[in-house]
């Protein structure tokens, strides 16, 4: 094996480092370290001059490891790795030591200690560098097709976005008809148009698009694989098919809560949910003379703390519709707060009031009571503002319930290895920074599958999910940084610890040349190192952060401790 | 019981159900019982059973895993916990071996027996179970020794894996019970209550005596790694010389590797040539795991080992 | 000799403390402390790992047995791990290891785990200051074979 030849480059960073740390002392110290054949200081190692120096020295001195001691790797690591590569040295034979953010900038009043610390950090960096190994980034092909699970507004919009980019899309819908949740809705807010007017063109576009294959009446049975190479088994009327896709979008939506046990819903024939109201009355049934709409049914309670977000809007929409059919109808909306966010919905709310819809606030502790024997006839409620109990006429009681997570979410979440939140909806990778993705690469989510949302929100999210899902397909491959885990099969006893702990399901036990052993899929591995830490024999290691490298740093730090203090 | 055992094994061998049986047989001295392999019906007479059958034979099942032919094994309830863990840890498949469970009324700790008898163990001719006592043959006499005085520590807190099914049983194996005012973690609690400096001194003294013979590792069912971390040169975790600093690393790392896997079989302590009270180390980890994560190794096939699992509500003193 | 105060009573003991910091949260938090010029004692040496879950208990045991005065493991707040679940394992391992180390007579302050997010530069500085002070007050780690402190009663 060629002798290890380490080059160390200590940066002054103008005055940022050099003003506190005695850089020349550190350079001199670096020269005494094992395997170091070259050490120099630079004013700015990241400058053209500095980078050239690195490249020159690699060539001239036959350096096979480069250590730069300067700022934080989180800024310039790619730059220096690039310089190494240009000089013909594998980019992963480079180690970064932070003597600015972690040293000169935080020990400004103690140059002596700061210099000692810089020396030790360099000693640790050199020790690790000696054990670095050349690595190649792993490239994985992406199959040029996408799967959209769910044929509602979100799913169809995402499918069209992808298809319009020329990407092959498989749209799988459980029901025989496309359209999803809003098929049960007759009119939409705030435009008050018929749902058909929105839905029909959308469905036609989807059905007729050459890049979209619709699988109606179909369920996803099994998925396996990883970004770029998912295998999906689907079944339609007993017939099974297999689809191969590069990315997957979850757009399975949600369902309306049927509030059994609340407000005598299951008991009385004229106590209905909003969707049931849509179905029954907007199709032409006789309209009641008095309607009481109760909001927050089964929402914002201890068992289900969230707000359904747009159900208030739905209630207002239907209240307005009732008044428009017959201004004489008495319409009461019993609410705990009115969620009318944004300009359009706030105006909608005001319009309802102008049309004579009465809004009555009730307390969660004293919910309305339905009066009547075989039918609901009236509602008794503690009117919060008036401070007394009132009885309101009610030929019809409409319960506004939130959307709840579908029962089949759990199965899908297990199949795709994506998580559910506490309320059973799909949980995104990061609430703020990654709202459309999962930690599992290649799977995205949009629409009510994430949390209750209205049509404009579903559509925006669908655009976002489609955009995200198209990127790997258009690039044709995914590149994985060479910090993935790798298992030495000879040393592996297949105890399975690594398989259990991997947050991404990237490790499996497989029969190999030396019997059963763990195997890491580099395309799924994110390089956290959790598996390495749980491997008792050290068979599992992480490229760039293996036990040997980290132990050498610990050893380098501990070795001169016996000579005492600073 | 011995006859029943031999009958079962004889039949299994003659029917071809198994190629080997791992059991106990007489060792070089009367008081020594050793593990043995029986492959022929003619050898079955060698098999014995009694209060000195101390080894955990599960370890040997692991070793036979790559041989042709099925293996049968004799297990006490405590040893069966190792089988449960080995199945959980993907080392064995239940269908690959035959289990003969034997009813055990407590095992003798040879060191305690010697102290109690006041004579060297070499003079012991044999031991039988006698209900509340052991019947110990010393020379011409048969002495009755109260079980409580010579029982292995672990037998006071006998645990069987509740739903592990044996293929055959000799007697009716059930967890052994005995009246006593001991508490399971007394040895640990005693140390926990000492001031830190005294604890330090205690363990330092123990670790200094370690000669790194690795007997504890060799006898442990859970130490099945193809290449032990401590044997590796690249990277080198330990240097060879049994210095305090190295020994400390060895014992602490072993305790961590066994966290959630130690079934308290007591073999490590039994085989330690310098008498380090290893149970006081491993039971500390067991106690913490039981308190923190409500988990005991070797009891259920379905439960997930605590260190490859987590709970969103785990204690968090690090906030 | 160091210029700043020593709290251990004037014998000038400067502990050497190993810190593991995860790339996404705590290392970034440490960088932020640097960018904000928050001053802190110079006794800590950071080893960067991608996730706190990479830190195996064996590292901590080895570091302390080889004479380092303290080990600090920093990770993301539980629930915010860049790799979803890594720090839950860190938490469990940390809990168990702390108790074990204390049991064999190593002062509890010598091994600590803290959660520091990328935006918590101030918390990083505070933590380093606090941990350094705690360990300084304890004196040198006597795990190491070579170091025979002069105190009596250490038989």
C56 near A532, Cβ under 8 Å?
Answer: yes
Q: How far apart are the CA of C119 and the nearest CA of chain A, in angstroms?
A: 14
Helix segments in A360-447, DSSP class H: 409-416
Burial of C152 (0-12, 13-18, 19+ CB in 10 A): exposed
**Overall average pLDDT of the C51-55 stretch:** 97
pLDDT at res. A97: 98
pLDDT digits (tens, 9 = 90+) for B136-173: 999 889 999 999 999 999 999 999 999 899 999 999 99
- Does any domain span residue B23? no
Nearest CA in chain C to A546: C54
pLDDT at res. C144: 53
Contacts of A534 in chain B (CB under 8 A): 307-308
* Calpha distance A359→A340 (Å, rounded): 13
Q: What is the ipTM of this complex?
A: 0.93
Nearest to B155 by CA among B136, B135, B180: B180
pLDDT at res. A416: 87
pLDDT at res. B55: 95
Residue A463, C-beta contacts closer than 8 angstroms, at least 6 positions apart: A157, A158, A161
> Could you say which residues from 62 to 121 on chain C have a Cβ atom under 8 Å away from some Cβ of chain B?
62, 65-67, 78-79, 85, 88-89, 91-107, 112-115
Q: Any bridge partners for residue A244, and if so which? A: A231
Residues in chain C: 155
pLDDT digits (tens, 9 = 90+) for B196-226: 999 999 999 999 999 999 999 999 999 999 9
- Does any domain span residue B273? yes
- Does any domain span residue B276? yes
pLDDT digits (tens, 9 = 90+) for B269-285: 999 999 999 999 999 99
Residue A457, C-beta contacts closer than 8 angstroms, at least 6 positions apart: none
- Does any domain span residue B35? no
pLDDT above 70 (res C149): no
- Does any domain span residue B62? no
Give Cα B262 distance to the centre of its chain: 9
Q: SS3 sequence, chain B?
A: CHHHHHHHHHHHHHHCCCCEEEEEEECCCCCCEEEEEECCHHHHHHEECCCCCCCCCHHHHHHCCCCCCCEEEEECHHHHHHHHHHHHCCCCCHHHEEEEEECCCCCECHHHHHHHHCCCHHHEEEEEEECCEEEEEECCEEEEEEHHHHECHHHHHCCCCCCCCCCEEECCCCCCCCCCCCCCCHHHHHHHCCCHHHHHHHHHHHHHHCCCCCHHHHHCCCCCCCCCHHHCCCCCCCCCCCCHHHHHHHHHHHHHHCCCCCCCCCHHHHHCCCCCCCHHHHHHHHHHHHHHHCCCCCCCCCCCCHHHCCCCCCCCCCC
Q: How far apart are the CA of C53 and the nearest CA of chain B, in angstroms?
A: 11
Contact B252 C104 (CB under 8 A): yes
Q: What angle do CA B154, B78, B297 make, to 5 degrees?
A: 90
- Write phi, then psi, for A437 (nearest 5 degrees): -110, 165
- Does any domain span residue B67? no
Interface test with C, best of A438, A530, A537 (most C CBs within 10 A): A530
Q: What angle do CA A436, A442, A447 make, to 5 degrees?
A: 30
> How do strand A255-256 and strand A239-245 relate by DSSP bridges?
unpaired
- Does any domain span residue B310? yes
pLDDT at res. A432: 67
pLDDT at res. C11: 62
> Domain limits at B191?
182-319
User: How many structural domains is chain B composed of?
Assistant: 1
Lowest mean pLDDT among A113-117, C112-116, C117-121: C117-121
Residues in chain A: 566
* Calpha distance A473→A427 (Å, rounded): 24
Q: How many CB pairs under 8 A join B and C?
A: 108
pLDDT at res. C118: 83
pLDDT at res. C25: 86
pLDDT digits (tens, 9 = 90+) for C70-79: 999 999 988 8
pLDDT at res. B216: 97
- Does any domain span residue B193? yes
A528-560 CB burial, b ≥16 within 10 A, e <16: bbbbbbbbbbbbbbbbbbbbbbbbbbbbbbbee
pLDDT at res. C143: 64
B202 contacts chain C (CB < 8 A): yes
Nearest Cβ partner for C104 among B199, B292, B308: B199
Contacts of C145 in chain B (CB under 8 A): 243-245
Q: Chain B: list its partners (3+ Cβ pairs within 8 Å).
A: A, C
pLDDT at res. A423: 87
Helix (H, G, I), strand (E, B) or coil at C137: helix
Nearest to B295 by CA among B269, B314, B270, B268: B314
Nearest CA in chain C to A122: C45
Q: Please count the helices (runs of H) and the strands (runs of E) in chain A.
A: 14, 28
Nearest to A13 by CA among A71, A52, A74: A71
pLDDT digits (tens, 9 = 90+) for B22-51: 999 999 998 899 999 999 999 999 999 999
The per-residue pLDDT string of chain A (566 residues; one tens digit each, 9 = 90 and over) reads: 679 999 999 999 999 999 999 999 999 999 999 999 999 999 999 999 999 999 999 999 999 999 999 999 988 898 999 999 999 999 999 999 999 999 999 999 999 999 999 999 999 999 999 999 999 988 889 999 999 999 999 999 999 999 999 999 999 999 999 999 999 999 998 888 899 999 999 999 999 999 999 999 999 999 988 889 999 999 998 899 999 999 999 999 999 999 998 999 999 999 999 999 999 988 777 899 999 999 999 999 999 999 999 999 999 999 999 999 999 999 999 999 999 988 889 999 999 999 999 999 999 999 999 999 999 999 999 998 888 999 999 999 999 999 999 999 988 988 887 878 778 999 887 676 678 998 778 999 999 999 999 999 999 999 999 999 999 999 999 878 899 999 999 999 999 999 999 998 999 999 999 999 999 998 889 899 999 999 999 999 999 999 999 999 999 999 864 333 33
Q: Is the peptide bond before B235 cis (omega within 30 degrees of 0)?
A: yes
Helix (H, G, I), strand (E, B) or coil at C32: helix
Burial of A44 (0-12, 13-18, 19+ CB in 10 A): middle
Q: How far apart are the CA of C3 and the nearest CA of chain B, in angstroms?
A: 32
């Amino acid at each position: 094996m060629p002798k290890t030849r380490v080059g160390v480059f200590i940066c002054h960073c103008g005055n940022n480092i050099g003003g506190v740390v005695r850089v020349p002392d550190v350079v001199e110290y670096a020269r005494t370290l094992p395997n170091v054949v070259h050490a120099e200081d630079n004013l700015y190692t990241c400058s053209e001059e500095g980078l050239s120096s690195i490249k020159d020295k690699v060539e001239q001195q036959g350096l096979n490891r480069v250590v730069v001691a300067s700022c934080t790797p989180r800024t310039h690591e790619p730059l220096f790795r690039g310089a190494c590569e240009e000089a013909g040295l594998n980019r992963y034979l480079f180690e970064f030591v932070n003597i600015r953010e972690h040293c000169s900038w935080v020990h400004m009043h103690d140059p002596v200690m700061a210099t000692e610390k810089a020396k030790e950090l360099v000693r640790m960096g050199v020790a690790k560098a000696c054990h670095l190994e050349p690595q190649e980034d792993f490239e994985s092909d992406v199959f040029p097709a996408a799967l959209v699970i769910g044929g509602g507004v979100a799913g169809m919009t995402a499918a069209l976005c992808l298809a319009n980019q020329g990407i092959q899309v498989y749209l799988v819908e459980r029901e025989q008809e496309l359209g999803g949740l809003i098929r049960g809705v007759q009119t939409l807010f705030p435009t008050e148009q018929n749902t058909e007017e929105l839905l029909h063109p959308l469905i036609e576009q989807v059905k007729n698009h050459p890049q979209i294959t619709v699988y109606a009446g179909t369920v996803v049975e099994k998925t396996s694989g990883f970004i770029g190479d998912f295998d999906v088994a689907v079944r339609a009327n007993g017939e099974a098919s297999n689809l191969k896709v590069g990315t997957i979008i979850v757009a399975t939506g949600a369902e309306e809560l049927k509030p059994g046990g609340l407000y005598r819903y299951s008991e009385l024939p004229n106590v209905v949910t909003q969707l049931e109201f849509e179905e029954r009355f907007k199709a032409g049934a006789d309209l009641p003379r008095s309607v009481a709409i109760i909001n927050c049914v089964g929402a914002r309670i201890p068992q289900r703390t969230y707000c359904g977000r747009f159900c208030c809007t739905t209630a207002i929409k239907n209240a307005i519709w009732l008044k428009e059919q017959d201004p004489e109808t008495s319409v009461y909306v019993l609410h705990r707060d009115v969620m009318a966010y944004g300009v359009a919905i706030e105006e909608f709310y005001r319009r309802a009031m102008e049309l004579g819809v009465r809004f009555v606030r009730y307390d969660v502790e004293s919910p309305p009571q339905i009066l009547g024997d075989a039918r609901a006839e009236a509602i008794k409620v503690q009117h919060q503002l008036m401070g007394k109990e009132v009885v309101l006429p009610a030929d019809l009681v409409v319960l506004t319930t939130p959307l709840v997570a579908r029962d089949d979410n759990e199965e899908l979440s297990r199949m795709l290895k994506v998580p559910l939140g506490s309320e059973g909806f799909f949980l995104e990778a990061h609430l703020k920074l990654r709202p459309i993705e999962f930690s599992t690469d290649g799977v995205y989510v949009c629409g009510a599958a994430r949390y209750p949302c209205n049509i404009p929100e579903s559509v925006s999210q669908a655009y976002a999910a489609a955009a995200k899902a198209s990127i790997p397909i258009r690039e044709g491959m995914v590149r994985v940084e060479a910090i993935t885990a790798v298992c030495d099969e000879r040393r592996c006893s297949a105890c399975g610890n690594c398989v259990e702990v991997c947050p991404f399901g990237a490790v499996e036990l497989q029969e190999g040349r030396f019997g059963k052993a763990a195997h890491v899929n580099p395309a799924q591995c994110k390089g956290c190192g959790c598996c390495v830490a749980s491997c008792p024999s050290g068979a599992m290691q992480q490229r760039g952060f293996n036990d040997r490298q980290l132990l050498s740093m610990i050893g380098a730090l501990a070795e001169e401790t016996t000579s005492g203090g600073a | 019981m011995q006859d029943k055992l031999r009958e079962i094994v004889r039949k299994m061998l003659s029917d071809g159900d198994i190629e080997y049986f791992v059991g106990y047989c007489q060792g070089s001295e009367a008081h020594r019982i050793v593990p043995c392999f029986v492959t022929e019906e003619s050898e079955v007479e060698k098999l014995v059973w009694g209060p000195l059958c101390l080894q955990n034979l599960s370890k040997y099942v692991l070793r036979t895993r790559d041989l042709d032919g099925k293996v049968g094994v004799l297990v006490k309830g405590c040893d069966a916990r190792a089988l449960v863990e080995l199945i959980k840890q993907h080392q064995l498949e239940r269908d690959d071996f035959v289990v003969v469970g034997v009813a055990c009324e407590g095992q003798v700790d040879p060191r305690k027996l010697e102290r109690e008898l006041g004579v060297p163990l070499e003079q012991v001719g044999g031991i039988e179970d006698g209900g509340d006592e052991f019947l110990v043959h010393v020379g011409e006499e048969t002495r009755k020794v109260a079980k409580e005085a010579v029982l292995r520590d672990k037998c006071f807190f006998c645990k069987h894996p509740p739903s592990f099914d044996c293929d055959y049983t000799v007697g009716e194996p059930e967890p052994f019970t005995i009246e006593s005012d001991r508490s399971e973690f007394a040895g640990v609690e005693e140390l926990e209550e000492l001031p830190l400096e005294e604890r330090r001194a205690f363990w330092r003294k123990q670790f200094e005596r370690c000669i790194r013979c690795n007997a504890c590792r060799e006898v442990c069912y859970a130490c099945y790694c193809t290449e032990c971390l401590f044997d590796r040169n690249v990277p080198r975790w330990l240097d060879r010389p049994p210095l305090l600093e190295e020994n400390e690393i060895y014992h602490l790392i072993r305790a961590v590797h066994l966290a959630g896997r130690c079934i308290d079989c007591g073999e490590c302590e039994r085989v330690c040539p310098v008498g380090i009270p290893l149970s006081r180390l491993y039971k500390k980890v067991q106690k913490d795991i039981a308190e923190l994560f409500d988990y005991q190794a070797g009891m259920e096939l379905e439960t997930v080992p605590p260190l490859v699992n987590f709970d969103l509500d785990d204690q968090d003193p690090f906030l | 000799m160091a210029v700043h105060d020593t709290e251990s009573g004037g014998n000038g003991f400067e502990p050497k403390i190993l810190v593991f910091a995860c790339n996404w949260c705590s290392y970034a938090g440490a960088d932020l402390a640097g960018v904000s010029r928050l001053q802190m004692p110079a006794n800590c040496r950071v080893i960067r790992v991608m996730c706190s879950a990479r830190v195996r208990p064996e590292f901590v045991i080895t570091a302390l047995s080889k004479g380092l005065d303290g080990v600090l493991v920093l990770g993301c707040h539980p629930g915010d791990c860049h790799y979803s679940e890594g720090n839950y394992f860190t938490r469990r391992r940390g809990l168990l290891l702390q108790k074990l180390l204390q049991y064999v007579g190593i002062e509890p302050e010598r091994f600590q785990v803290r959660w520091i997010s990328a935006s918590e530069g101030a918390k990083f500085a505070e933590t380093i200051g606090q941990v350094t002070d705690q360990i300084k007050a304890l004196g040198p780690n006597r795990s190491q074979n070579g170091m025979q402190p002069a105190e009596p009663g250490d038989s």
